[in-house]
Structure 1
Amino acid sequence: MGEERGMTRMLLDCSLSDKLCVVQEGQYEVVIVPALLVGAFLILLGVILWLFVREQRAQQQHPGLQGIVPMPPSRGLSGEAAGHGGNVFVPLKETSVESFLRATNPALAKLQVPREQLSEVLEQIHNGSCGAIYRAKMNTSDPAKPKSVVVKVLKEPVGLHEVQDFLGRIQFYQYLGKHKNLVQLEGCCTEKLPLYMVLEDVAQGDLLSFLWTCRRDVMTMDGLLYDLTEKQVYHIGKQVLLALEFLQDKHLFHGDIAARNILLQSDLTAKLCGLGLAYETHTLGVISSTQTIPLKWLAPERLLLRPAGIRGDIWSFGILLYEMVTLGAPPYPEVPPANILQHLQRRKIMKRPSSCTHTMYSIMKSCWRWSENSRPSPKELHLRLEAAARTADDKAVLQVPELVVPELYAAVAGIRVESLSYSYSIL
């Protein structure tokens, strides 16, 4: 009733022919609605800015997490495999390199090698952004029998973060312990700068270079046979699987199984190296965004950024068998590296090479099953290789007539050609 009176009063104040009276009735809506919309927009903008500022402050308070892609815990492994195993020290309370070295030296006391024992540098193997890698002589208790070792030197000038990472890798090797199919830590020099990591020397070099040399018309060189039979492929493969079983027992995975990351002794004893990913996932629980693994060796779940585990290593092991039986050919030669995921999603795998027996190809295919749980474990695969080796040919050598052009290989394989020029590339 009151509203009707108000309306009547409004209309009585002007003549019926006045058009402004008609507009006045909706005037308040024209003003209020846009004002409400503008206010809501400003509030939303303020919330977005507040969230952005809070994120920036969080990153400043935790700079160690920048540039790191989080990785979920590995399926089927314990929480230790996802990091926080408690075996690698990171005493962050130390604020200088000198105080950090003093605080951590007691834990590494048993590994210390007097610097004067490293008497002679034989050659520089590599000079990278983090430091140089040398082959050197280390004096032993018998002066007449010095030992050849590989020395990794942390580049100077160096900051606290680099020192923490370098010493963390040394203690990770200490945590792993000894295994005949892993490159062994011989000791370290960490009481003062420059810092040294001393490793076992596997002078014959990496498996990929060995495979390429097997393509040449060479029988022996420096005491190492440069011929490879089917039975020897199984022999090398079984040793790599023993190393993987050892890592699995410690709730670890390797993450980069490939011929370039396997070193050979003169008796064809295989030594798995390239444990950088194993260190990062054990210590930090994440894989650094700076770690670049060639796509053609990765299992589908790795390409899809799903949790990684030992069954992913089994997929890569199948690629390793392909590398050996083809004497170092790049995998999926007809597929560009960027298209490998789409190729695998169509459930396509590599065809059987002409030099590969049906038995070996069957083992490869079991490694390349799309479902992780359908692939064999390292122990199961080891038993299959042992059975296959009993009837394998130990007389006819594998032959591939074409020599390898490193630049062409790198382009097809999707790797940097510089990474082919030295061993011990990732320590």
Structure 2
Amino acid sequence: MGDEKGMKRMLLECSFSDKLCIVQHQQYEIIIVPALLVGVFLITVGVILWLFLRGKRSQQQSPGLQGNAPVPPSRSLNQEAGEHGRSVFVPLKETTVESLLKTSTHALAKLQVPREQLSEVLEQIYNGSCGAIYRSKMHTGDPAKSKSVVLKTLKESAGLHEIQDFLGRIQFYQYLGKHQNLVQLEGCCTEGLPLYMVLEDMAQGDLLSFLWTCRRDVMTMDGLLYDLSEVQIYHIGKQVLLALEFLQDKHLFHGDVAARNILIQCDLTAKLCGLGLAYEVHTHGAISSTRTIPLKWLAPERLLQRPAGIRGDIWSFGILLYEMVTLGAPPYPEVPPVSILQHLQRRKIMKRPSSCTHTMYGLMKSCWRWSEDSRPSLRELCSRLETAAQTADDKAVLQVPELVVPELYAAVAGISVDSLSYSHSFL
């Protein structure tokens, strides 16, 4: 009724023959309706654009699609490594291989091993893209003191930059010095081609392969016991922590703590290897953008492409404890590698394995705290391991009946099968 009265008042103000009044009233409908449609359209476009940008941002934060993630730059450790440690990168001023080797001879003089001390009989144990790796004997004049060594070689067709990097890695070992829980550099042969890096031989291989062998019905093999107890897990874990503390004292971090990067001796002495990330941080102040790490071992901040640091190694150490107590099971077996970040963002962690005590699981959970600052320090973690070992069971042997299928393991773990075929992962 109100609308009809308004219309009557409007029409009374003009004559019936005057159509201007009626036309003017209809113009309001002609203007308002299209304006509303345009407004709805703009709002819709804005929402679509916002969703698109948010999706792009999420993709940038999400890890790679193949179970590996590029490594972000390190935290302040980059700068600290440069301030507290000298550069080990061989300056590339020469234009020939001969002049480059001559320049580096003085810096590596104390490490040179006469080639005649190395046996001519070489057992190839791996053939990589950069060069082959051999097992050999190093003689010292006394046959009783000859020892088995590993020769990491550089292909003779390598260019100047590859030779420079190879020499830099040798100097990095020299800078680190010796530690009982790091693979030791015995020397080098760099006065001419082929170039050799001489490393101590860890004939028993990597920890992951050892854990898989523990699943079999084998008591001993080559003098190494394959019955693993909870106390021995703490023993191996403590040695890894000591190696990480050594790196931390030099303002470095490892970046890929995992069973595949730990070598084992007959007496269960553990030695951390795979120091490529530490070398890149110390030498270049950053990590190569092409280097990738399996996602399931990375801390959340690493998955989110934030700067890496020692607290990320502590998260990975918790994964290592899980690997040991399950005798080499892949972490997060029910989660696809590409979904691991979303899984962790929902604050989900791995459940306690049936073979894991509540004490050990408590150590794992402390390593897997979302906030980096709330995770224990290396020293605190080492102290807690020592305390736990005092009351741990040294009699019960860990048992997992299923044998491992490498192809299936690689798919679940998000790593390549080729990386499992070689059990000596050196720098």
* TM-score of the two chains, using structure 1 as the length reference: 0.82
Q: What letter corresponds to residue 414 of structure 1 in structure 2?
A: G
**Structure 2 residue aligned with 1:385:** 385
**Structure 2 residue aligned with 1:318:** 318
Q: What letter corresponds to residue 405 of structure 1 in structure 2?
A: V
**Structure 2 residue aligned with 1:43:** none
Q: Any residues of structure 2 matched to 1:277-316 within 5 Å, and which?
A: 277-316=277-316
* Mapped partners of 1:253, 1:152: distance in 2: 23
* Mapped partners of 1:181, 1:231: distance in 2: 18
* Mapped partners of 1:294, 1:78: distance in 2: 22
**Structure 1 residue aligned with 2:75:** 74
CA contact (8 A) 1:219 1:227 kept: yes
**Structure 1 residue aligned with 2:48:** none
Q: What letter corresponds to residue 199 of structure 1 in structure 2?
A: L
CA contact (8 A) 1:74 1:81 kept: no
* Mapped partners of 1:343, 1:83: distance in 2: 38
- Check if 1:272 corresponds to 2:284: no
* Mapped partners of 1:224, 1:355: distance in 2: 22
Q: What letter corresponds to residue 132 of structure 1 in structure 2?
A: A
* Mapped partners of 2:155, 2:290: distance in 1: 18
Q: Any residues of structure 2 matched to 1:178-327 within 5 Å, and which?
A: 178-327=178-327
Change (3 A) 1:121 1:261: farther
* Mapped partners of 1:410, 1:236: distance in 2: 24
* Mapped partners of 2:283, 2:383: distance in 1: 32
**Which structure 1 residue ranges, 5 or more long, are not aligned?**
1-68
CA contact (8 A) 1:280 1:286 kept: yes
How far 1:425 moved relative to its partner?
Answer: 2.5
How far 1:80 moved relative to its partner?
Answer: 2.9
Identity of aligned residues (%): 84
**Structure 2 residue aligned with 1:139:** 139
**Which structure 2 residue ranges, 5 or more long, are not aligned?**
1-69
How far 1:74 moved relative to its partner?
Answer: 1.4
SS of 2:202's equivalent in the other structure is coil
CA contact (8 A) 2:136 2:150 kept: yes
**Structure 2 residue aligned with 1:421:** 421
- Check if 1:376 corresponds to 2:380: no
CA contact (8 A) 2:89 2:168 kept: yes
SS of 1:74's equivalent in the other structure is coil
CA deviations 1:5-31 (Å, max 9, x no partner) are xxxxxxxxxxxxxxxxxxxxxxxxxxx
SS of 1:186's equivalent in the other structure is strand
**Number of residue pairs matched?**
358
**Structure 2 residue aligned with 1:335:** 335
Change (3 A) 1:73 1:415: closer
Which runs of at least 4 in structure 1 moved beyond 6 Å after TM superposition?
none
CA contact (8 A) 1:73 1:82 kept: no
CA contact (8 A) 1:122 1:134 kept: yes
**Structure 2 residue aligned with 1:86:** 86
SS of 1:290's equivalent in the other structure is coil
* Mapped partners of 2:283, 2:86: distance in 1: 8
- Check if 1:96 corresponds to 2:96: yes
How far 1:82 moved relative to its partner?
Answer: 6.2
SS of 1:281's equivalent in the other structure is helix
* Mapped partners of 1:82, 1:71: distance in 2: 18
CA contact (8 A) 1:70 1:286 kept: no
Report which stretch shifted further, 303-312 or 77-86. 77-86
* Mapped partners of 1:406, 1:375: distance in 2: 32
CA deviations 1:147-183 (Å, max 9, x no partner) are 1000001012111000000000000000000000000
* TM-score of the two chains, using structure 2 as the length reference: 0.82
Change (3 A) 1:165 1:386: same
Please tell me the root mean square deviation across aligned C-alpha atoms, in Å: 1.5
Which gives a bigger RCO, structure 1 or 2 (Cα 8 Å, sep 6+)? 2
How far 1:426 moved relative to its partner?
Answer: 4.0
* Mapped partners of 1:156, 1:398: distance in 2: 47
**Structure 1 residue aligned with 2:350:** 350
CA contact (8 A) 1:124 1:135 kept: yes
